[in-house]
Structures are given as structure tokens and as C-alpha cells.
Structure 1
Amino acid sequence: MKVEALKQRLDRNRPMTSVTIRMPEDVVEDLKRVAPLLGFSGYQPLIRAYIGQGLRVDLERFEGETVTALVASLKRRGVSDSVIEEALSEVAHATSN
């Protein structure tokens, strides 16, 4: 994830919107029971955390697949492995700063 996007995700004051979702009552009761045990103020923040975790996993997977497809495309166009590795290393170094 890009640094700027990560900063926005960590902003506690970012805009929120209401979403209505139907869930089984027993699941909501379990969420209410588990939330304080995990340090959440209520079940809704716990739901947001669960959704955020799953979303980050999927985003990473899709972004990884995009990079893999890009590398394969570059190789098909004759770009050498050393040039690709150098570029990937450069990007990894730049995003870690």
C-alpha cells in the first residue's frame, strides 16, 4: 500500500458512512461478547476491524497479482531479469522509506 493511502487509513477522523447489513442475531450477540475481550469499545468497531483485515489481505493479493502480471509482461517484451529485479528492488526500497 502506498504511504499516502496508509496515512489516510490511519486517520481516525476520516469520513464515515452508514451501512446496513443483516446478520444472524446469534452472530451479533457473539460479537458483543467478544468485542470487549479484544479491547474494542463495542461490536461495531470489531466488525470494522474484521472487514478491514479481510480487505487488506485481498488488496495485497490483488496488488501482488498485478505486479506478477507486469513482470511477466515485461519479460515477454524482452526486458532482462536483471533490469526487472533492479526495478523491483528500487520500488521496494522507495516504499519502505
Structure 2
Amino acid sequence: MKPETLKKRLDKNRPMTTITVRIPADVIEDLKRVAPLLGFSGHQSLARTYIGQGLRSDLELLENDAVLALIASLKRHGVTDEVIQEALVDVAQR
């Protein structure tokens, strides 16, 4: 991640947006149970942390110039977006 982007991400006063996400009740209960054990004030802050970690991991992968060049080349050679997306998911899960 670029230093200026990281600096913005670490700003505690950046704007927030409210969203609605359907999450299974048992997952929410687990978040509520685990959050205080990990030092979080509540389950929502823990969920935001998990989302942020996954997003940063994916952004790191996708912002790599070599990966972007490879994706562009694959598209020029007729590889579908669906196949490329499946491959990116495979790589991210390793």
C-alpha cells in the first residue's frame, strides 16, 4: 500500500458510512465473544478490522504492477473476467 494511502487509513477521524450487512447470528455471537478477548471495545470494531485486513491483502495483490499487467495480457488473450476472478481468489487464499 502506498505511504500516503496508509497514512489516510490510519487517521482515526476519517469519515464513516453506515451500511447494512446480513451476517449469520452465530457469527455475530462469536464476534461478541472474541472481541473483548482481543482487546476490542465491541464486535463492530472487530468486524471492521477483519474487513480492513482482508481488503488490504487484496489491494496489495491487485496493486502490484506485474499482476495488473498479467491480468491485462490474459484479457487480450481472451481469458474471461470470471476465470481471472477465480484465479485471483485461488491466489489470495494461499
TM-score using structure 1 length: 0.67
**Per-residue deviation, 1:67:** 3.1
Mapping of residues 4-19 of structure 1, within 5 Å? 4-19=4-19
Greater share of residues in helix = 1
CA distance in 2, matches of 1:3, 1:23: 33
Matched residue, 1:83: none
% identical aligned pairs: 70
**Per-residue deviation, 1:2:** 1.5
Paired AA for residue 13 in structure 1: N
After TM superposition, where is structure 1 displaced by more than 4 Å over at least 4 residues in a row?
none
TM-score using structure 2 length: 0.69
Unaligned runs of 5+ in 1: 74-97
| 1:40-87 deviation digits (Å, cap 9, x = unpaired) | 0000000000000000110011112x33528xx9xxxxxxxxxxxxxx
Query: What is the number of residues matched between the two proteins?
Result: 70
Aligned-residue RMSD, C-alpha? 1.6
Larger Rg: 1
Matched residue, 1:34: 34
